[in-house]
Amino acid sequence: MKRGFYTIMAAQFFSSLADNALFVAAVELLRAGGGGEWQRAALVPMFALFYVTLAPWVGAFADSKPKGWVMFISNAIKMVGCLAMLFGGHPLLAYAIVGLGAAAYSPAKYGILTELLPPSQLVKANGWIEGLTIASIILGVLLGGQLVGQHLSVLLLSIDIPLIDTGVDTAAESAIAALILVYMVAAWFNTRIPHTGVEMRPLRTNPSRNVLANTLALLPDFWACNNRLWRDKLGQISLSTTTLFWGAGGNLKFIVLAWAAVALGYNTTQASALTGVVAIGTAVGAVAASMRMRLDMATRVIPLGIAMGLLLILMVFISNIWLAIPFLILLGGLGGFLVVPMNALLQHRGHNLMGAGRSIAVQNFNEQACILGLGAFYSLSLKLGLSVFGAITVFGVVVAGIMLVIQRWHASNCRNHSEELDHLLHIARQDTHH
DSSP characters over 40-86:
HHTHHHHHHHHHHHTHHHHHHHHHHS-HHHHHHHHHHHHHHHHHHHH
Mean pLDDT of 13-36: 88
Domain boundaries, the chain: 3-190+222-430
Top CATH class, 3-190+222-430: mainly alpha
Give the pLDDT confidence score for residue 434 in this predicted structure. 37
Quote the CA–CA distance of 238 and 242 in Å, as a whole number.
6
Quote the CA–CA distance of 282 and 286 in Å, as a whole number.
6
Quote the CA–CA distance of 383 and 293 in Å, as a whole number.
42
Give the pLDDT confidence score for residue 431 in this predicted structure. 53
Give every CB contact of residue 106 below 8 A, 6+ residues apart in sequence: 51, 58, 360, 364
Computed over every residue of the chain, the mean pLDDT equals 82
Q: Yes or no: say if 35 and 193 are a contact pair by the CB < 8 Å rule.
A: no
**Portion of the chain with pLDDT greater than 70, in percent:** 86
Q: Which of 235, 233, 228, 237 is nearest to 417 (CA)?
A: 233
Give the pLDDT confidence score for residue 180 in this predicted structure. 94
Q: Dump pLDDT digits (tens) for 374-418.
A: 888 888 888 887 888 888 898 899 899 999 999 999 889 888 888
Q: Which of 23, 37, 45 is nearest to 375 (CA)?
A: 45
Task: Fill in the amino acid letter for 322.
Answer: W
The residue ranking higher by pLDDT, 155 or 406, is 406
Q: Which of 124, 103, 122 is nearest to 113 (CA)?
A: 122
Task: Fill in the amino acid letter for 220.
Answer: P
**Portion of the chain with pLDDT greater than 90, in percent:** 17
User: What are the C-alpha distances in Å from 111 to residues 75, 175, 304, 344?
Assistant: 17, 31, 26, 11
Q: Dump pLDDT digits (tens) for 179-204.
A: 999 999 999 998 888 776 665 565 55
Mean pLDDT comparison of 33-37, 141-145, 284-288, 328-332, highest-scoring range: 328-332
Give the global pTM: 0.71
Whether 124 has a pLDDT exceeding 80, the answer reads no
Lowest average pLDDT, out of 71-80, 93-102, 147-156, goes to: 147-156
Give every CB contact of residue 280 below 8 A, 6+ residues apart in sequence: 134, 138, 329, 332
